[in-house]
Amino acid sequence: MAPRMIVIVFLLLANLGMPARECLSMDPPNVILVMTDDQGYGDLSCHGNPILQTPNLNKLHRESIRFTDFHVSPFCTPTRASLMTGNYAGYTGAFRTSSGRTMMHRDQKTLGDLFSSAGYATAMIGKWHLGDNAPHRPQDRGFQHVVWHRCGGVGQASDYWGNDYFDDVYERNGNFEKFDGYSTDVWFKEGLRFIEDNRSKRFFLYLATNAPHGPYRVDQKWAKPYARRTDVANANFYGMIANIDHNMGRLRDRLVELGLNENTILIFMTDNGTAAGGSFRGLDSEPSRGYNAGMRGKKSSLYDGGHRVPFFIHWPKGGLVGGRDIDTLAAHLDVLPTLADLCGIPIPDDIRPDGTSLVPLLRGSVEPWPRDHLVEQFLGGAYAKEFPPQPFHFSVVMTERWRLVNSGGERLFDVQADPAQRTDLAKMYPDIVAKLRTKYQKYWDTISPRLTPVRIDIGSDAENPTVLCSQDWRMASGNPPWNFNAIKRLPKVTGPWMLRVKKAGRYRITLRQFPKQANKPVVGKLARIEIAGMVKELPVTPDRLKVVFELDLPAGPTELTTYLFDENGEAGGAYFTEVKAL
């Protein structure tokens, strides 16, 4: 049957009301989900950016169905948790970017689990940021093939020592490997390798770039067109997006060459508002320079500029083409149920998404839409000073008309009349405020019991030894040392790792202030560990590269806290600690 005829048949079946899984299950599509990091809604020329050139993404925009009121979380880990599970980030347990709150509860199932259980080949390429250790790595979460960097950015603390975006060492299926080239080019190259290796199967590829997240590093040929322009806040940021655009073109061209374009669902989205597409005063202003599509707020803001993002979906064989806009309020929570619906995959009982399938909207249904609001919350606040998170604090309740923003005070905006959110209408419409506060309460009742510690396994068959990093200390307030700029100062702070001892027995615990690959001596006079109700101490001799403890541990949940005391008796932690079951 010719592709055009297949599309006609699909549309006829859809108009007759036949569920997508019934009419598509005989020839399920491949899925490629591309998500970039810190690229905002306005960081595309197809969204009106007068400076940035994104010809390949513009072409995808012209050919796709576009959601124009699509929202994620205002920063990266919670967006990724919601995308993977269809659940609110607080419910998953992964609602911060560090401080031991980046990992999802063990009962959470992911898109990787969903597709692998349906017989798809699955791959995760690039940035994960949902846990560096078992059982939280992508290979533990349903992805059969992974090439990724650890932590929240290339060159951050738990990433491989020395990585700087160029010719780096990344992890492939549990083993570190040297890769040639720029990080974004590597991710797309590895994504294409996975596609080509699985062209005769059904595959699901989650390709999540670390770009254009800082530090803003890119070959200057990409940044050069934007350098020395007074209306550009950061030329390298734009250059990183230009490189992404180039790689998107290569990906789409190769899909056509392989004969996979027609029956592949291709999604492009981003994880939060812009980080450097403009010059902002704090998090919540309009840009004084650059472009933000008329919105107020940037990454980490609860105003629309912090969490409204592009979402393009393209699938020729399924009729998802033609450049149509959908202005219905939609979110990252909806991706899992939507893809399950489009691919004919029944959602198992142990996956209960908070999101809703967008398939009726994609079909052009005029039936009333079941969602009447959406909630996002920056749990703990922008600087992680408000733990445990409080109800309403740093939240936004959204409808297609209203935004109730609670960030240092409650404000109400009519975004249809005032998309820049300049005029606070809370005093004028107290009934709307009360109504939206009532809607928020159901969200809080859902997530608040789940804001509990998520533990890392030690002594696991999946990972032994386990290398812990200070970014996962679960702090009572603030952020732990999560990058090398902080760690190099040897800050006098420590915190507990929340662990689960998988099997009772003898363990070796090795303390360092820098990764093993750095080959740097431990600076201090006395080392101490506290774990499973025990306290152990050892002296630190000059030029010692590590301090090693051995002890017996019982199985079950525990906490590990490390101390390295200096000559004044002040202590910081062992920012890198290896735990091995013997």
| Segment 28-46, tens digit of pLDDT | 999 999 999 999 999 999 9
Q: Tell me the fold of 30-363.
A: Alkaline Phosphatase, subunit A (3.40.720)
3-class DSSP state of 118: coil
Q: Tell me the C-alpha distance between 525 and 537, whole Å.
A: 11
Q: Tell me the C-alpha distance between 491 and 578, whole Å.
A: 20
Q: Tell me the C-alpha distance between 205 and 217, whole Å.
A: 25
The tokens for 303 are 């105003």
Residue 172 confidence (pLDDT): 98
Structurally, what CATH architecture does the domain formed by 456-581 represent? Sandwich (2.60)
Amino acid at 95: F
Q: Is the entire prediction scored with pTM above 0.85?
A: yes
Element spanning 341, H or E: helix 335-342
Instruction: Find the mean pLDDT for residues 481-496.
Output: 96
Q: Tell me the C-alpha distance between 168 and 520, whole Å.
A: 20
Instruction: Find the mean pLDDT for residues 471-482.
Output: 95
CATH 3.40.720.10 location in the chain: 30-363
Q: Tell me the C-alpha distance between 186 and 329, whole Å.
A: 34
What are the residues facing 512 on neighbouring strands? 576
Amino acid at 129: H
CATH 3.30.1120 location in the chain: 374-450
Q: For residue 180, what pLDDT band results from cuts at 50, 70 and 90?
A: very high
Residue 21 confidence (pLDDT): 41
- Chain centroid, CA 567 distance in Å: 41
Residue 582 confidence (pLDDT): 98
CATH classification code of 374-450: 3.30.1120
Instruction: Find the mean pLDDT for residues 524-552.
Output: 97
Given a cut of 90, whether residue 283 has pLDDT beyond it is yes
CATH 2.60.120 location in the chain: 456-581
Q: Are 572 and 493 in contact (CB under 8 A)?
A: yes
- Chain centroid, CA 198 distance in Å: 25
Q: Name which of 11-15, 118-122, 551-555, 571-575 the model is least confident about.
A: 11-15
| Segment 300-333, tens digit of pLDDT | 999 999 999 999 999 999 999 999 999 999 999 9
Residue 166 confidence (pLDDT): 98
Residues 6 or more apart in contact with residue 431 via CB below 8 angstroms: none
Residue 233 CB-half CA count within 13 A: 17
Residues 6 or more apart in contact with residue 264 via CB below 8 angstroms: 29, 30, 31, 32, 255, 315
Residue 385 confidence (pLDDT): 86
Residue 383 confidence (pLDDT): 84
Q: Tell me the C-alpha distance between 240 and 345, whole Å.
A: 36
